[in-house]
Amino acid sequence: MRFNPRRSQLMAEDKKSPSGAAQSAPSEKKPSPRQKHEEYWRANLIVLACLLFVWFLFGCVFSIFMVETLNEVKIGGFPLGFWIAQQGTIYVFIILILVYALVMRKLDKQYDVEEDED
């Protein structure tokens, strides 16, 4: 579900007293829906950048560029570079998908943009 500024606006209106003044202290400045949306996407892009870095590290650096260096180490009789290229990257990719899902669920709840479960 995408960020819904109207939903945030309605929630803000619900917190106002009947006289129209906000119930929170005047010194507290709440972020606008646009600011909240920008913060959410900034956090989303940081998560994506970190996960893409790990993907590039295992998918390209370890399994292509450093394969000969890693082949000097043996795991179960197989060279480590070969193992990472053939098996390790698959495990890392699956772990990255799970990490992304869990982190995004947490971010969605934090910024109140999670999908409604009906």
Residues 1-18: tens digit of each pLDDT: 555 555 555 455 545 545
- Residue 23 inside a domain? The answer is no
- Residue 12 inside a domain? The answer is no
Range of the domain at 63: 32-110
Angle value at C-alpha 3, between 105 and 24, nearest 5 degrees: 95
- Residue 66 inside a domain? The answer is yes
Over residues 20-46, mean pLDDT = 78
Q: Give the up-direction half-sphere exposure of residue 60: CA atoms within 13 A in the CB hemisphere.
A: 6
Share of the chain above pLDDT 70, in %: 76
**What does the pLDDT read at residue 17?**
46
Could you give the number of structural domains in the chain?
1
**What does the pLDDT read at residue 79?**
94
- Residue 92 inside a domain? The answer is yes
Average confidence score pLDDT of the chain: 83
